[in-house]
């Protein structure tokens, strides 16, 4: 297992390739057949999977997106649906998702805003083919940024969102169940017989507008200091490459 921490130019490049490299390796192993991707979460930055590079090289990759049937998600998907082979919306605990149908499930910017996280992850894992990859990018419940996100009034959250992400519908209501943290994800993987191949932490706070970014940075630093480091300011998101074993009875070492 490897860990990548952002904080320098080299680590920034490593984080930007964190998902693209295993996706590329997996796709090349599937030479001669198309690769199917399920994107869970309408705000997922799909470009970080490197799919564009793969298709330019002649590989066939199809992407289906799934998200909750909520007004904000519907607005995003309405604007982006032409980029996907299929769009699925509904209650993530029960919506019809084909089982063992996808080579890669990419779950990003979703777990921090949904309830019943373990049940949602079970549905996504069931959609994976044996040997497939579950890629997770999520906010960390125990980061200073997540605590600030939960504490701020909705009007202030909306104002910050519109400045950091102009033109993108949001923000979603923050939930951050207890499982949405490093220990929670590790425990989930262990209990479900999944293998965490790599993990990373990422600091994604936008640099612009600079005054707002500085204010958020100072506030998060204060939260970390006042909490005695319980709420960490070194990152705001966690990244995982998780493999579903070919044999569900495989022993994890």
CA–chain centroid gap for 47, Å, is 12
**Structure confidence at residue 10 as a pLDDT band (50, 70, 90):** very low
Predicted confidence (pLDDT) per residue in 153-172, tens digit: 999 999 999 999 998 889 99
| Contact criterion met (CB below 8 Å) for 204 and 236 | yes
Work out the angle between the directed axes of helices 210-226 and 154-164 (0-180°, nearest 10).
130
> To 10 degrees, the CA torsion angle through 38, 171, 137, 13?
110
CA distance 95 to 105: 16
User: pTM score, two decimals?
Assistant: 0.91
| Contact criterion met (CB below 8 Å) for 106 and 135 | yes
For residue 174, the model assigns a pLDDT of 96
Residue of higher predicted confidence among 144 and 253: 144
For residue 31, the model assigns a pLDDT of 85
For residue 235, the model assigns a pLDDT of 95
**Structure confidence at residue 1 as a pLDDT band (50, 70, 90):** very low
CA–chain centroid gap for 48, Å, is 11
Predicted confidence (pLDDT) per residue in 181-205, tens digit: 999 999 999 999 999 999 999 999 8
CA distance 140 to 146: 6
Predicted confidence (pLDDT) per residue in 75-123, tens digit: 999 888 888 999 999 999 999 999 999 999 999 999 999 999 999 999 9
Q: Which of 45, 169, 39 is nearest to 104 (CA)?
A: 39
| Contact criterion met (CB below 8 Å) for 84 and 111 | no
CA distance 239 to 189: 13
Q: Tell me: cis bond preceding 209? Omega within 30 of 0 counts.
A: yes
Q: Which domains does the chain have, with CATH numbers?
A: 2-139+173-205+235-243 (3.40.50.150)
DSSP characters over the chain: -EEEE-SSHHHHHHHHTTTHHHHHHHHHHTTTS-EEEEEESTT--GGGG-HHHHHHTT--EEEEEEE-S-HHHHHHHHHHGGGSSEEEES-TTTS---TT-EEEEEEES-GGG-SSHHHHHHHHHHTEEEEEEEEEEEE-TTBHHHHHHHHS-HHHHHHHHHHHSTTS--PPPP---TTSSHHHHHHHHHHTT-EEEEEEEE------SHHHHHHHHHHHHHHHHHTTTSSBSS-SEEEEEEE--SSTTPPP-
Q: Check pLDDT > 70 for residue 39.
A: yes
User: For the purposes of burial, counting CB atoms within 10 Å of the CB of 29, is it exposed (0-12), middle (13-18) or buried (19 or more)?
Assistant: exposed
């Amino acid at each position: 297992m490897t860990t990548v921490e952002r904080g320098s130019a080299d680590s920034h490049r490593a984080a930007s390739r964190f998902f693209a490299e295993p996706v590329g390796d997996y796709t090349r192993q599937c030479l001669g057949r198309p690769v199917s991707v399920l994107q869970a979460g309408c705000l997922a930055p799909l470009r970080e999977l490197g799919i564009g590079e793969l298709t330019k090289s002649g590989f066939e990759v199809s992407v289906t997106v799934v998200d909750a049937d909520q007004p904000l998600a519907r607005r995003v998907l309405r604007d982006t649906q032409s980029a996907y082979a299929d769009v699925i919306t509904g209650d993530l605990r029960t919506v019809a998702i084909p089982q063992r149908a996808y080579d890669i499930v990419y779950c990003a910017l979703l777990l921090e805003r949904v309830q019943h996280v373990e049940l949602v992850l079970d549905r996504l894992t069931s959609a994976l083919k044996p040997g497939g990859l579950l890629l997770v990018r999520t906010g960390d419940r125990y980061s200073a940024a997540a605590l600030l996100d939960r504490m701020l009034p909705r009007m202030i959250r909306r104002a910050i969102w519109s400045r950091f992400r102009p033109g993108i519908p949001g923000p979603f209501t923050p939930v951050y169940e207890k499982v949405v943290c490093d220990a929670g994800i590790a425990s989930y993987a262990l209990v479900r017989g999944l293998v965490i191949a790599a993990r990373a932490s990422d600091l994604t706070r936008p640099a612009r507008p600079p005054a707002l970014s500085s204010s958020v940075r100072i506030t998060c630093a204060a939260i970390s200091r006042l909490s005695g480091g319980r709420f960490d300011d070194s990152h705001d998101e966690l990244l995982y490459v998780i493999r579903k074993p070919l044999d569900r009875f495989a022993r994890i070492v």
